Amino acid sequence: MEDFGEGGIHPHENTLAKPKEDRLKLIRSCNANFSPIFGLFSDPSKRIDSILRDAMRQPPLYDLADDVGVRHTLWGIRENRAIQIITGQMADKQIFIADGHHRYETAINYRNEMREKTPNFTGDLSPNGFIGDEPFNHVMMYFTNTNSEGLSILPIHRLVSSLENFNKKRIGEEAGEFFNIESLPFNGDEEKDVRQRLFLEMKNRGENGPAPASSKQGHVFGMYLGDNEYFLLTLKEGGMLEKYVENSRHPAWKTLDVTILHTLLIEKVLGISEKSLSEQKNITYTVNEIEAIKGVKEGKYQLALFLNPTKIEEVQAVAAAGEKMPQKSTFFYPKLITGLVMNKLE
């Protein structure tokens, strides 16, 4: 492990306080990693991929389906030459954390705790790359080549609750300062078709524009406030990004959909602060839009906000620039199942 900003491991998201507290308690109690951090690297030559394909010609160590039917297959590589090639290829790679920011930061905190308890620990990041022999100086990770097929990013939608003086009409009026708003009304039996239209329009406009000159794509969002009506929100042109998003931030960060949604709608219109976001007071996250809509209908949430998925190139650009997206900006898929491999720290 290394501290962020001191080497080749880059985060792309901010983290939440509560999950890190829980994960630190787990490591203290069990002295083990149960779920690997998901790292991305770039290997256009796919040399590592070819070695992995060779290993997959052998019978797997495990082959199982989880409770939602996803198949997980694990192979082992024991050939020293193959291991040497992989480690040699990976030695100078820049690693972008796709999933597991809380686990990585928790592992750093645990390492620091253990170093205080171990006066003569051998680990520290030095010019020769030596990190130390103690297990607490390391954390379990797995790596995916961004040039390989099959890697997907799903959007994580926002569910809003516990807002004081909640007023649907006011939200619509204030959001209109920043977005062109289109109403998509429906009767009961029309809802499925209208919902599909909402997400299809989001996808098409997000990929094809119209877009501000500073962006590669159009910035478009969905909103559901209850009742028989969805809303399509498209960012207005005319310098909205430059006017309201901090000029000091890198362009890769400023033009993210999730940045625009948080800055203009969640912070300015809904009045939810960064502190409230970090403490998870008003926002709940989900990748399932049907569950989100159901939660609003049942009164559990006041409104739902829908996003298009972030592109892998955007994640890499933000991380390489040293910026961080808002919490829960990306859901990388597929993920390894927890507990398939465990890493003892003692």
Q: Is 79 within a domain?
A: yes
Pairwise CA distance, residues 49 & 123, whole Å: 31
* CB neighbour list of residue 255: distance below 8 Å, 6 or more residues apart: 212, 214, 215, 216, 219, 241
Q: Is 323 within a domain?
A: no
3-state secondary structure of 234: strand
Q: Is 109 within a domain?
A: yes
Cβ neighbours around 70 below 10 Å, total: 12
Q: Where are the beta strands (DSSP E) in 15-85?
A: 32-33, 37-41, 62-65, 71-74
Q: From first to last of the 346 residues of the chain, give the pLDDT tens digit.
A: 888 877 788 887 777 777 888 999 999 999 999 999 999 998 999 999 999 999 999 999 999 999 888 899 999 999 999 999 999 999 989 898 888 888 999 999 999 999 889 888 876 554 445 567 889 989 999 999 988 888 888 899 999 998 888 899 999 899 998 999 999 999 878 999 999 999 999 999 887 544 433 344 589 999 999 989 999 999 987 656 667 766 667 878 888 898 889 989 999 999 888 777 777 788 999 999 999 999 999 999 999 999 999 888 888 788 777 777 777 888 888 888 899 999 999 7
Q: Is 319 within a domain?
A: no
Residues 295 and 273 placed together within one structural domain of the fold: yes
Residues 94 and 197 placed together within one structural domain of the fold: no
Residues 103 and 161 placed together within one structural domain of the fold: no
Residues 21 and 38 placed together within one structural domain of the fold: yes
Residues 299 and 163 placed together within one structural domain of the fold: yes
Domain around 172: 156-308
Q: Is 322 within a domain?
A: no
Q: Is 328 within a domain?
A: no
Q: Is 57 within a domain?
A: yes
Pairwise CA distance, residues 35 & 150, whole Å: 21
Residue-level pLDDT at 7: 76
Nearest-5° angle of CA 318, CA 324, CA 330? 80
The total of structural domains in the chain comes to 2
Residue-level pLDDT at 214: 37
Residues 161 and 145 placed together within one structural domain of the fold: no
Residues 23 and 77 placed together within one structural domain of the fold: yes
* Proportion of the chain in helix, strand, coil states, percent, rounded to 5: 35, 20, 45
**CA 66 to chain CA mean position, Å:** 22
Residue-level pLDDT at 246: 65
Residues 59 and 128 placed together within one structural domain of the fold: yes
Residues 186 and 76 placed together within one structural domain of the fold: no
Residue-level pLDDT at 165: 85
Q: Is 270 within a domain?
A: yes
Residues 167 and 122 placed together within one structural domain of the fold: no
Residue-level pLDDT at 212: 39
Residues 170 and 276 placed together within one structural domain of the fold: yes
Residues 105 and 236 placed together within one structural domain of the fold: no
Residue-level pLDDT at 104: 93
Burial group, residue 72, by CB count within 10 angstroms (0-12, 13-18, 19+): middle
